[in-house]
Structure 1
């Protein structure tokens, strides 16, 4: 079982880091495009707030979102809000989630996330940590993949490599930063492709934030990864 206590502490630090950075923006910059296609920075912040509320639903046994359409509509509704309201919403929604987790007792139970995905309750704080860290990068305000905590980067690489393991469209692949190695893709006796590079570049490719230009590939072309 994951160390949810440690992950909750890391999540609090990441959330404060994001709030401190966002507080330096203004209303105009919040309305500017983020690094995510079609989303302003306001969309990213609104998503983080509504994701926290959605995880409260998960932990209390309700559907994460009423529907995909409702999720998207809520983000579009909240995206144009001014900076002070965005900040308050991110802070307050994160606090509601942390308070619920502080009262939780059965961390071994299975919970249902979006699209029928299930996981142990103890793994959910790490999933939220990933939301906060990666979307901080998506804001495009000076926080880059290279700035992510090393522990987070290693664990997220492992998480994403596992997510693509067995996927029929991804060739058998070894991913390595020359110190650690992860396997992914469909099963085979020997890997077809080896992808090597710094951990931030590997993570950027796996999570769709970078195109893999900073990676070395042997045994074939850089695999095209399915959308997350």
Structure 2
């Protein structure tokens, strides 16, 4: 069962962790390449701030972004800012998201995200948690997939495995973690079943497009090529 209050507390912890790490950088760090192609560290920080605003919009029943073009333009506008400005913005946008989430609400209601995707409101805090954790890794400042909280790692694999379940480009695939956890995904493409085994970090990295899967053990075929998230 989704516990939005628990996830909101986890968002706070993850945000505090990211802000503490980013505060140790110098202003020149914002212009350095991040681990996301075409994005600097400043782009990642700007995206995190604007995503907090966007998810507050979702909770308020408004469109997540005015448009895809406006989303991209806002990130490009904000990316070159000095580090202090980036972190102040991230703190403020996070506070706005938390304030909106603290208001009385029906957490079982349906909400709309980008590209017509719908979900229940209680899952929005977990989506924000994922943004903060994965983009902290994307900054390339010493926080790795292996450093992610164990609970988050397993739940994000659950989320991504479900996202690709039945996908027409992914054959039936079974996943096994190094702690014995099992997941299934794919199933919409011919072939398989394929068995994939590895650590939580490597499985999550592959599913989230952060690692190429070369560290995974694959049986019954080749490692499926996953579509973009």
Same fold at TM > 0.5: yes
Helix, strand or coil for the counterpart of 2:175?
Answer: strand
| Runs of 4+ in structure 1 over 4 Å off | none
The answer on whether the counterparts of 1:174 and 1:194 sit within 8 Å (CA) in structure 2 is yes
TM-score under structure 2 normalisation?
0.97
- The 5 Å alignment of 1:109-124 reads 109-124=109-124
The answer on whether the counterparts of 2:169 and 2:188 sit within 8 Å (CA) in structure 1 is no
Q: In angstroms, what is the RMSD of aligned CA positions? A: 1.4
The reply to whether residue 215 of structure 1 matches residue 219 of structure 2 is: no
Helix, strand or coil for the counterpart of 1:63?
Answer: coil
Deviations, residues 140-186 of structure 1 (Å, cap 9, x unaligned):
00000000000000000010000000001101000111401100001
The answer on whether the counterparts of 2:170 and 2:188 sit within 8 Å (CA) in structure 1 is no
Deviations, residues 108-152 of structure 1 (Å, cap 9, x unaligned):
110000000000000000000000000000000000000000000
Deviations, residues 2-52 of structure 1 (Å, cap 9, x unaligned):
100100111100000000000000111111000000000000000000001
Q: Can you give the 5+ residue segments of structure 1 that lack an aligned partner in the other structure?
A: none
- Tell me the distance in 1 between the aligned counterparts of 2:121 and 2:192: 33
Match of 2:134? 134
- The 5 Å alignment of 1:22-33 reads 22-33=22-33
- Tell me the distance in 2 between the aligned counterparts of 1:99 and 1:57: 12
- Tell me the distance in 1 between the aligned counterparts of 2:14 and 2:38: 25
Match of 2:48? 48
The answer on whether the counterparts of 2:18 and 2:136 sit within 8 Å (CA) in structure 1 is yes
- Tell me the distance in 2 between the aligned counterparts of 1:66 and 1:8: 25
